[in-house]
Amino acid sequence: MSAATSGAGRRVWAVLELLDRQLVDRNGHLVGKIDDLEFEIDDDPGALPRVSALLSGLGALASHIGGDAGRALAATERRLAAARDRQPSRIDIALVQEIASSVELDAARDDIDTNRAERWTRDVIIDKIPGAGHVAE
């Protein structure tokens, strides 16, 4: 069932069924948690807000947590993230394939914005260690 494309829409409880859930890519790889939601509100009078994207990653998590811990996380994120953008990584709601105990995305993780830190760690650190590409024996 696609939450995004079905015309009638689907009713989902945001905090219970979306927030803090695991995101899984097309190949079954884990690609982060849903740390926050982005809503779009049309200018039409009476139009309902609709979820336009799932936000994931330290930036989104930091503002979700708030307080001192949130500020510490946000500071960490600013150190780690590329300086170019300050927006939390977003995943367009159109990519959502299924909402179950985890949320499945119709995309490979290398194409997902929230996967930058994983890629950076892989390219800069883990790939430098012999045996990184081998399955364990």
Partner 1 sequence: MKRIFGVTLGILTAMGGFVDIGDLVANSETGARFGMSLAWAVLLGVVGIVVYAEMAGRVASVTKRATFDLVRERLGARAGLLNLGASFFITMLTLIAEVAGVALAVQLVVDVNYLLWIPLVGFAVWLVIWRVKFSTLETVFGLMGLAMIVVVVTVVQLDPSWSQLWHHASHPTVPSGEGHPTYFYYAIALFGAAMTPYEVFFFSSGAVEEKWTRRDLVLNRANVYLGFPLGGLLSLGLMAGAALVFHPLGVGVDNLSQVALPTSVALGKVGLAFVIVGFVACTFGAALETSLSCGYTVSQYFGWQWGKLVRPREASRFHLVVLMSIFVAVVVGVTAVDPIKVTEYSIVLSAAALPLTYFPILVVANDRTYMGDDVNGPVKNTIASFYMVLLVVVALATIPLMIATKAGS
Give the integer Cα–Cα distance in Å for 90 and 94. Answer: 12
Residue 113: count of CB within 10 angstroms of its CB: 17
Residue 41: CB minimum distance to partner 1, A: 24
Closest CA to 103 of 8, 9, 10, 19: 19
Residue 8: CB minimum distance to partner 1, A: 22
Interacting residues with partner 1 (CB under 8 A): 19-23, 29-33, 35, 56, 58, 61, 64-67, 69, 101, 109, 117-119, 121-122, 125-127, 129, 131-137
Give the integer Cα–Cα distance in Å for 115 and 117. Answer: 6
Residue 96: CB minimum distance to partner 1, A: 15
Residue 88: CB minimum distance to partner 1, A: 13
Give the integer Cα–Cα distance in Å for 126 and 115. Answer: 15
- Decide whether 3 or 64 has the Cβ nearer to partner 1: 64
- Decide whether 21 or 26 has the Cβ nearer to partner 1: 21
